[in-house]
Amino acid sequence: MLGNQRPKGENLLIKTAVISILKDCLANATHAPPPPLQQQLGQAKADDRITTIEHDIKEIKETLRNMVTQSPRSYVDAILSPGNTNSKPKDASAHIRLETAKRERLEQAKTDRAKREITLTFRNASEKAYTRLRDTNESEYAAELQDAINRSEAKGATILKLRKMPGKLLKIQCNSESEATKLQELKWEQALEGATVLTQEYGIVLHGVATQIMDTRTTTQERMKAIIQEDNPALAVQRIAPLTKRLRNPDAPTQSIVIFTRCPKTANDAIIDGVRIEGRYYAARRYNSQNQIRQCFRCQGYGHKAESCTRKITCGWCAQEHETKSCTGKASKCTHCNEEHPAWHHECPKRLKEHERLEALNAATPPLFTC
């Protein structure tokens, strides 16, 4: 019953601790002598077992009392605490806890790093500005950009690192948060002919939204934002997107959408209170792009994308060594299970296993954004 619960925050830590303690009690109970030997031991042995159970119950109560009175601990603290001696995962749940702790550390590091970074988008910039970015190596471009900064009102800000990103994006890392703030306030539209600062967005996921109310394929952004903000005036909607680019069933009457906002507190309020659309209530959960299925369409493997793939090319339709887009075969064959379906089929055992793993990670992900 505890395992089927989906608590959040401190209650999730309490659930994990209680399950761990009950497993230890259960292990001790299963190692008890067989019935004939118990009868020979007599009543004294039974009394000892009752005393042991009472001691275990007392420890459970004391643990819960301490966890309630103490400040909430992160997954990193819980796993790295002295009482935890499991250096290697012994089961699936332990592996999920370790991977969750790793993601929490990475997310915290990413949050700290983001305070010293700004991201520029060249999607609306002039062709000349984007061509210059594309054809110039990063070190040379950083030197030119630093000269422009030194001549502007952001003088004093230093470019520590510069990276060109996919999707016409440019990420600039500074030495401190104050320097990043200076660059945020710089008028980049004039300096780089239309380039703008890309602000961080926080997404919340809604499931089961009727396509009659809004369809991300046909309804305009302005219309979808108006529909949502009509019943949720405090939710400053930046944009709305489908949860998955490829719909499993295009004719389905409902869909899952992601609502993006620039305020983490507003997103957290929507997660706690839910979202109302035309009189209907929708439970919202935190959107995390890392917890989405990532499949490489170069090798058909999971966990990475084609631009970073170093494996051999495998067709996702016939499992042969050529690109999927150039395949002329009529019969499909999965490169994972050899069944007659493409490698991305939703019933492929490999994909189902990846889906279960991500669902477990989603359940263990902190429910709210860090403000």
For residue 86, the model assigns a pLDDT of: 45
Within 8 A by CB and 6+ apart from 127, the residues are none
Looking at this protein, which amino acid is placed at residue 167? Answer: G
Q: Are 170 and 192 within 8 A, CB to CB? A: no
| DSSP SS3 for 264 | helix
CA-nearest of 110, 113, 116, 84 to 97 is 84
Sheet holding 202-210, edge to edge: 239-242, 254-261, 202-210, 284-286
For residue 327, the model assigns a pLDDT of: 92
Q: What pTM value is reported for the model?
A: 0.52
CA-nearest of 288, 301, 269 to 363 is 288
Can you give the pLDDT of all 371 residues of the chain as single tens digits? 777 777 776 677 778 778 878 887 777 765 545 555 445 545 555 566 667 777 777 777 776 666 555 544 544 454 445 444 444 444 566 776 777 777 777 777 777 777 888 888 888 888 888 888 888 899 898 998 898 888 888 888 888 888 888 878 889 999 888 888 888 888 888 778 888 888 788 999 999 999 999 999 999 999 999 999 999 999 999 999 998 877 767 888 999 999 999 889 999 999 999 999 998 999 999 988 766 788 898 999 998 888 778 899 999 999 999 999 899 888 899 999 999 999 988 889 999 988 888 877 777 677 888 76
CA distance 32 to 43: 15
- Residue 117, sorted as left (phi over 0), alpha (psi -120 to 50) or beta, turns out to be beta
For the record, the structure tokens of 151 come out as: 């001549």
Bridge partners of 170, per DSSP, are 120, 164
For residue 76, the model assigns a pLDDT of: 44
Query: How many CA atoms within 13 Å lie on the side-chain side of 80?
Result: 11
User: Please, is 215 exposed, middle or buried when counting C-beta atoms within 10 Å of its C-beta (0-12, 13-18, 19+)?
Assistant: middle
| DSSP SS3 for 338 | coil
CA distance 313 to 300: 8
For the record, the structure tokens of 167 come out as: 């999707």
CA distance 133 to 150: 19
Structural domains of the chain sorted by starting position, each given as residue range(s) with its CATH number in brackets: 10-107 (no CATH), 115-198 (3.30.70.330), 202-287 (3.30.70.1820), 288-371 (no CATH)
Bridge partners of 287, per DSSP, are none
Q: Are 79 and 98 within 8 A, CB to CB? A: yes
For residue 89, the model assigns a pLDDT of: 46
